[in-house]
A and B are shown apart, each in its own frame.
Chain A
Amino acid sequence: MNKTVLIVGVVIVAVVVFVLFAGLGKDPSIIDSPLIGKPAPPFALKAVGSGETVDLTALRGKPVILNFWATWCGPCYEEHPTLVANARNLPNVQFVGVVFNDDEDKIMRFLAQRGTAYPTLLDTNGKTAIAYGVGGVPETYFINPAGTIVAKYAGPLSTEELQANLAKALR
Chain B
Amino acid sequence: MIATFFLLALLQIKVPDAAQIIGPPAGTPITGAQLERRTMEISSELRCPVCQGLAIGDSPSIMAANMKAQVRELLERGYTETQILSYFEKSYGQFVLLKPKFQGVNALVWILPVLALAIGFILVMSKAKKLESAPAKAPVAEEPIDDPYLARVREMVDKP
Residues on A close to B: CB < 8 A? Answer: 1, 5, 8, 12, 28-29, 31-35, 41-46, 53, 55, 100-101, 123, 125-136
Contacts and interface: CB of A to CB of B under 8 A. Distances in A.
Majority-rule SS of A interface residues: loop
Nearest to B119: A8
B28 to A, nearest CB: 23
| Interface bin, chain B | 20 to 34
B80 interface: no
A131 B91 contact: yes
Contacts of A126: 62-63, 66-67
Contacts of A136: 49-50, 63
Contact of A31 (B13, B15, B49): B49
A44 B91 contact: no
- Chain B facing A: main interface SS: helix
Contact of B95 (A31, A35, A125): A31
Contact of B21 (A33, A46, A131): A131
Which of B12, B50, B63, B116 has the most chain A CB atoms closer than 10 A to its own CB? Answer: B63
Given A46-B11, A101-B66, A127 B16 contact: yes
28 contacts: A1-B126, A12-B116, A28-B52, A31-B49, A31-B93, A34-B92, A41-B16, A41-B20, A42-B14, A42-B20, A44-B13, A44-B14, A46-B13, A53-B11, A53-B13, A101-B63, A123-B15, A125-B66, A125-B69, A126-B62, A126-B66, A126-B67, A127-B16, A128-B15, A132-B91, A134-B49, A135-B63, A136-B63
A45 B15 contact: yes
A123 B92 CA distance: 18
Contacts of A1: 126
A127 B17 CA distance: 8
B36 to A, nearest CB: 19
A53 B15 contact: no
A150 B123 CA distance: 51
B89 interface: yes
B66 to A, nearest CB: 3
Interface string B59-98: 0001100110110000000000000000011111101000
A133 B94 CA distance: 11
B92 A43 contact: no
Given A41-B16, A43-B14, A128-B15, A32 B93 contact: yes
